[in-house]
Every structure is written in structure tokens, then in C-alpha cells.
Amino acid sequence: MNFGFSEEQELLRTEVRKLLDGQCPMPEVRKLGESPQAYSPALWKQLGELGWLGLTLPEAYGGADLEWIDLALLLEETGRSLFPSPLISCTLAAAALLESGSEEQKQARLPALAAGSQIGTVALAEDGGIFGSEGIALRGERQGDDWLLDGVKCFVTDPEAADFFVVAFRTGDGADELALAVVDADAPGVSAQSFPMMDTTKRLGNLSLENVRVPANAILAEPGRARPALDRLFDRGAIAVTAELLGSAQAALDMTVAYAKERIQFGSPIGRFQGVKHPLAEMFVALESSKSLLYYAAWAIDAKPDDVPRAVSRAKAYASDTFIRIGVDGVQLHGTIAFTDEYDLQLYLKRSKWARPMFGDSAYHYERLLRLRGL
Amino acid sequence: MDFNLTAEEEAFRQEVRQFLADKLPPAEERGEGFIWEWWKAIREKRWIGFSWPTEVTGGGASIMQQFILKEELLKARAPLLGSDYTGLHWVGPAIIQFGSDEQKAEYISEILDSKSIWCTGYSEPDVGSDLASLQCRAVRDGDEYVVNGQKIWTTLAHLARRIFLMVRTDTKGESKHDGITCLLVPMDTPGIEVRPIKAMTTGGMAHMLNEVFFTDVRVPEKFRLGAEGQGWEIVCSALQSERSGISEVNRHESALDDLIDLARRSQRGGKPAIEDGQVRQTLGSFEARIEAMRLNGMRALTSQLRGDLHPSQASINKLHNCDLLVEMSDLAMQLLGCSAPYVSGSDAVIDGGRWQNGALSWPATVVGGGTPNVQRNIIAERFLGLPKD
């Protein structure tokens, strides 16, 4: 029984932190947030060279052959730094290809993703307000061996940076009649748009598909049978977002604790007052507990797949609410300084509003837990 | 990271399972004399005091063996390990760590054989969370101490044979933590008077608490545990026993199953309460927090095995435990609707009044052993490094 990290894992964490602290400190994060696609291609390449973009991919595709628990560490650190990058997008595009792609499809995309020479993302959700596979309404039309897609996918991460999209669509009315296709950004009829964001370090928007023709060799897995793969993709998305948000939440808590130690009022550091220290203790408890839930879920992906849906829902629900609370209470405990644009805490508050709905908020995941119990 | 057991650990789990299959009848078939037979059988296995050293006839078990045994006993809904909860949980470990050979010989086997009941003399009328300020006085007179003062909230004092008593032997120490001494006092010593305090609880649990008065109580020096002035160290210490908190987690898990069952039977807005969105959200959040407790416990266990357990780690799960006890029992009361105020004594009460008992009995756990606000202070100061207030 071992619920702890190995020396290699701690080393990976240290290396990532060192690189991000050195090359992407907060002024750089803010600068990248103002750039059109909110990431630095040069730094992205460097991450590829370090092997961090293909962490969970097999070596045959240029990956490091590690596990999701290692990936969770990487994402915690990018979250801690608010590192603007398409890491979650690429991770999920790669996960879909790895699970459902043909050998040819994998060879064509995975090494490029691992090297950082291509950006991929997933286009799963739509605007019906339904999380998970049930929310997929876009109906593909069969034309010979090809499929024709006409509609809009919403809440696509890094839509304008992406070279290709893994698109989910329906092949029939049955709940399970779903399919996944790879659509190139430059294919005829494809257009992507990101919208102005509260959290400027993230890009989110729509993928418009106007009579886009998807050839048979761009379909992942068997059309109409992609439901299990899609469910697993949603779960991986929720884990990736949870890992990243917990790193951010840790940074926001650290910042608030540091402030409580140095800010003097009534002749003493405010962290001495129980009105300040008790909320901080509560945040710490919630954050540590969120980490326990996340690490187990990430471990289960590789070691205990049957446990993943419940583990993911527990982690995403509890962690999302934890981060929201740390964002709000962190600002309150600081006072007006945290209301300013200049003070970095506000960036974390904004990140918490991004992280909550991505791949399901707590209301969705708590409800899902009851359904998974058969209720 | 790996949640699997080693081959030896797995073999031990099988041994426990086999024993339980052979020796533990289902709850409804357990007769009156069963509990004594059960305690005798598991005592022979040395599973009572499993973590204690073999020199005092404990089990000498590893942390993982303790965890496995506890988990299997809980899964099988086995009764408590022995009659003396206080003795098994903190008095025994303190005697093993600080006691003389005579004291170990006299007290430890009694605890393990379910022949003792200890109570704990910590709180006083003016001394609760600030325990180190205790005032109950012991003055040296030859080879005896003379104790005068009062203790309060003393659980089971009316049944206990001995009290694990913290007294002040020195009032001139630099810090209030100095000058506290631990005495192991027979409850039938002249000058000890126990007065019951009735709790708000309904039914058989109403009398657990007591006041204990000490008037010129003469305690031989040989009943002192550790050195004079070592009392605070004794309060703060505990032997290395398994700290996963698996017992609390298991209790919450079965309470959640029972709550879900109640929600299926109860009505809300003309339909089963289990279909109510708010009820479902609350149940889902209970599930996540119970699982968080379980996994926090596993992380603590790993730290313990690696020898780097934070001494205040238990405060994290204690806060979850308190919240869950209060909130889960309150959801039950909400599900009962207008019948919630009924207690046992008529057919009108649902499930014989067990939910009402739960809604009133949580303070024993939530307040006992340090209130939630004390835990928050501990976490803020010892994990986050905030200044003491």
C-alpha cells in the first residue's frame, strides 16, 4: 500500500516548477494572455523536447510511457503557474487518438503532438447545457463511406490554436450511437473562433462546421460505437482540469497565507486572528482532501479503470467547489488590494470560474454519483 | 503509488476473513453471552491491543496489519475490540510508553482482558479547550499526593474503576504546561464523589457524563504515571498505532447507505425524496467527502509507513468527521419532515427513534477531544505556520 509519490515523480514536479518559474513568471503569463492564441510556441516546443507533451504516450509515438498520475503532477504545476498553453487540449486529443485511432491515425498525429509541432483539441460539448456524452446532439449524415457534419460545437478549448479537432457527433437517435472524427482546421467548411475571456490565460470558443466532409479514414473507432470511448474521454478531461485547478488553488492559498503573515492590522499580523486563520484552515483541509480524491482518480485510470467514473466525479465536484471558495475567500481575506488588476490573486479567482464548468460542475458530478449508485 | 497489498499482507487478510467466517455469527444470531466469547476468542489471537508490544501481551503488529484487521472487522460489522474504549485507545498506550514495570503488569492485561473501565480526568469547570490551564491540585505529603479540586464532563466516571487524572503539582512553573502530573487513581478512593450530568440525548445514552469531586483524596506516589511534571507530555503523546481513521470512514459509509434508504422511503413534494434534486446533491457531496476522508487516511498511512507523518494530520479528518456527523444526522431529520420531533415511545416515530438519537448524540464526538475551532487553530498554526493567538 503506497499512496505517495516516488522520488522520480517528485523530481519531475521540481523540474517543471523550476522551468515555469524561470521562463514563465507572472509578468510573462500576463503578456501571453494578451497574445492572440495565449501561448508561447517557443516554450511549447521546449516542453516537447523535454518529453512533457507526450508524458502518457507510448515510446513508439514519441512519448515517455508514464501514467496519468505523472501527468497530474505536470498539470498541477502548470496550474500553479497559470501557465498559458494548450496542454489540456493536446492531452485530450492525444488520449482520444491513442484509445480509438487506427495505427495509421496514431502514427500521423501522436508523434507530432508529443513533439509540440502540432496542436490538437477536442470538440465535444454543445450549447444545450448538458454535460457528458448525453449533451452531444450534432448529427452526422452518412454519404457513402464519408460523413457530412453541419453544425456548431461549443466550449472548445484553444479553438484558434488547434491544427486539428477531435469532434464528437451522433450517428443515430440511440443514446449510444456516437462517433468521433478527426477534422483538420484547414478543411473546407471549418472555422474556429475564440471569444473574449474573463480568464485571459485561457482560450475557449466555437468550432463551426459547414457541410464538412469527413472521409472514412478520419473516423476514430467504429462509427456508432464510440460511447464508451467518449465517456472515458470526458472522464480524462475532468481529471486533467481538476489536476490543473488544484495547482492553481494551492498557489492562491499560498498567496493568501503569505499575506496573512505579513499584513499588520490592530498591531498584529492578521493571520493571528481566528476570523482569518479559521477560513484558511478550512481551505487547507478542502484542498488536501481534493488532492487525495484527484490522485486516486488519476492513479485509477491506469490501475483500476472500473473505479474511474466514481473517482472522477468525486474529485471534480469537490475540487471545483474548493477552488471557487479559495478564489472568493482569498480575495476577501486580502481586502481591496486583491480587487486590483495589478495583484495576481484576481487571475486565480478568474481561473476558478473557468475550471468549475469544464467537464462538469459539482451539480453535474454529484448527480452522476447518485446515478452510478443506480439511484 | 500503489494500493495493492503485498503477498504477506494479503495472506493476513485471508486469515482474518477465515476467522470471521468461522467465529462471528450474523448480528441477529448473537446471543447474550456472545460478546464475552468473542472478546475471549480475539484476545487469544492477540487482536485486542494488536498494535501493543508483545512484552505486554499485545499483538506487536505492523501498521499495515493493524489497518487490515480493522478494515475486515468493520466490513464484517464485528463488535468493538474489548470493553474498555478509553483504556484501549489512550490510557493503555500511555501506560506502555510512560509506566513502570509494576504499572504495566497491573493495568495492561486488565484492559486487554476486558476487565477494566477507565475514565479520563481532563476538563474542569473553567478549563476546556485551554486544557493546559487546569487547576485540580495535588500536593505532596510524604509518599502520597493529596488531591483537591473538580473534574467535569467525565465520560463513564460512574462505571469506571480508575481515572486517568491530570492534576497540577506545581504552580510556579514558567509555562502553564509545566507542573502538570498524571495520576492513575482508583475510583473507590475515599474523598471521590461522582455526580451525574444528564445529557440532552434521549434513551439509554442520556447518562454518560459526570462531575467528579476530589476532597483530600490521598493517592500513593506509586500511582503516578511518568515523572512529576510530565503530564502535558503524556497528554500530547500516543504510541504508533494505525492512524487512517478507517473506523470513522466505515461508520459514515454505512450511515450514508442508511440515509439513502431513508430518502427512498420518505416523501418530498409528493414524490420520493430520493428524486429531489437538493437531496441528491447533498447525498452526492456526502459521498465525496467520505471518500476524501478515506483517501486522506490512506495518505496519512503512507506517511506513517515512511516515518514522516505530520503530528497534526488527524485534525484534517477530524474536521470532516464533525461536519459529516452533524450534517448527515440533520439531513435525516429533514427527510423525516413533520415527524422529526417525535422520539421513541410511540408508533408515530419512524425507525424507532434512531435518527433523533443521531441528531442529538454528535456533540460527544464533535466537542470531545478538541472542538472544531481548536482543530482549525492547530491546522492554521502547525500546517500553515500562522502566528499563535
What is the value of ipTM here, to two decimals?
A: 0.96
Q: Which of B10, B246, B384 to mutate to test the interface with A (most CBs of A within 10 A)?
A: B384
Q: Are residues A361 and A315 in the same domain?
A: yes
Q: Which residue has the cell 460542475?
A: A361
CATH classification of the domain holding A328: 1.20.140.10
Q: CA of B278, closest CA in chain A: separation in Å?
A: 10
Q: Which residue has the cell 475550471?
A: A355
Minimal Cα distance from A375: which residue of B? B274
Topology of domain B118-231 in CATH is Butyryl-CoA Dehydrogenase, subunit A; domain 2 (2.40.110)
Q: CA of A30, closest CA in chain B: separation in Å?
A: 28
Rounded Cα–Cα distance for residues A33 and A39 (Å): 7
Partners of A149 in beta bridges = A212
Q: Which of B242, B248, B253, B291 is catalytic?
A: B242
Q: Which residue has the cell 503488529?
A: B61
pLDDT at residue B203 is higher than 80: no
Is the CB of A2 inside 8 Å of chain B's CB atoms? yes
What is residue A225's three-state secondary structure? coil
Minimal Cα distance from B275: which residue of A? A375
Secondary structure of A84-122 as H, E, C letters: CCCHHHHHHHHHHHHHHCCHHHHHHHHHHHHHCCCCEEE
How does pLDDT run across A58-112, given as a tens digit for each residue?
999 999 999 999 999 999 999 999 999 999 999 999 999 999 999 999 999 999 9
How does pLDDT run across B2-21, given as a tens digit for each residue?
888 899 999 999 999 999 99
Rounded Cα–Cα distance for residues B102 and B100 (Å): 5
Which residue range forms the structural domain that includes residue A191? 121-224
pLDDT at residue B240 is higher than 70: no
Of A314, A367, A370, the CB nearest to B291: A314
Sign of the C-alpha dihedral, residues A28, A34, A36, A38?
A: positive
Q: Are residues A169 and A236 in the same domain?
A: no
Q: Are residues A212 and A140 in the same domain?
A: yes
Is the CB of A62 inside 8 Å of chain B's CB atoms? no
Q: CA of A279, closest CA in chain B: separation in Å?
A: 8
Looking at residue B3, its pLDDT comes to 86
Q: What is the pTM of this model?
A: 0.95
- Number of structural domains chain A divides into: 3
> A109-138: buried (b, 16+ CB within 10 Å) or exposed (e) per residue?
bbbbbbbbebbbbbbbbbeeeebbbebbeb
Does residue A51 fall inside a structural domain? Answer: yes
For residue B163, with 0-12 CB atoms within 10 Å meaning exposed, 13-18 middle and 19 or more buried, which class applies?
buried
AA identity, residue A204: L
The structural domains of chain B, with segments of one domain joined by +, span 7-82, 118-231, 246-382
Beta carbons of B260 and A373 less than 8 Å apart: yes
Helix (H) or strand (E) holding B150: strand B144-152
Q: Are A71 and A237 in contact (CB under 8 A)?
A: no
> Of A318, A299, A297, A307, whose CA–CA distance to A366 is shortest?
A318
Q: Where are the alpha helices (DSSP H) in B307-371?
A: 314-335, 354-361, 363-366
Residues 254-313 of A with CB under 8 A from B: 257, 260-261, 268-269, 271-274, 276-278, 280-282, 284-285, 288-290, 292-293, 295-296, 299, 303-304, 311, 313
How does pLDDT run across A247-269, given as a tens digit for each residue?
999 999 999 999 999 999 999 99
Looking at residue A296, its pLDDT comes to 97
Helix (H) or strand (E) holding B312: none
The number of residues making up chain A comes to: 375
Task: Decide if B242 is catalytic.
Answer: yes
Q: Are A318 and A293 in contact (CB under 8 A)?
A: yes
Residue A371 carries which DSSP code? H
Per CB-CB distance under 8 Å, the chain A contacts of B67 are 1
Does residue A210 fall inside a structural domain? Answer: yes
Q: CA of B67, closest CA in chain A: separation in Å?
A: 11
CATH H-level, domain B7-82: superfamily: Acyl-CoA dehydrogenase/oxidase, N-terminal domain (1.10.540.10)
**Interior CA angle at A209 toward A206 and A210, to 5°?**
135
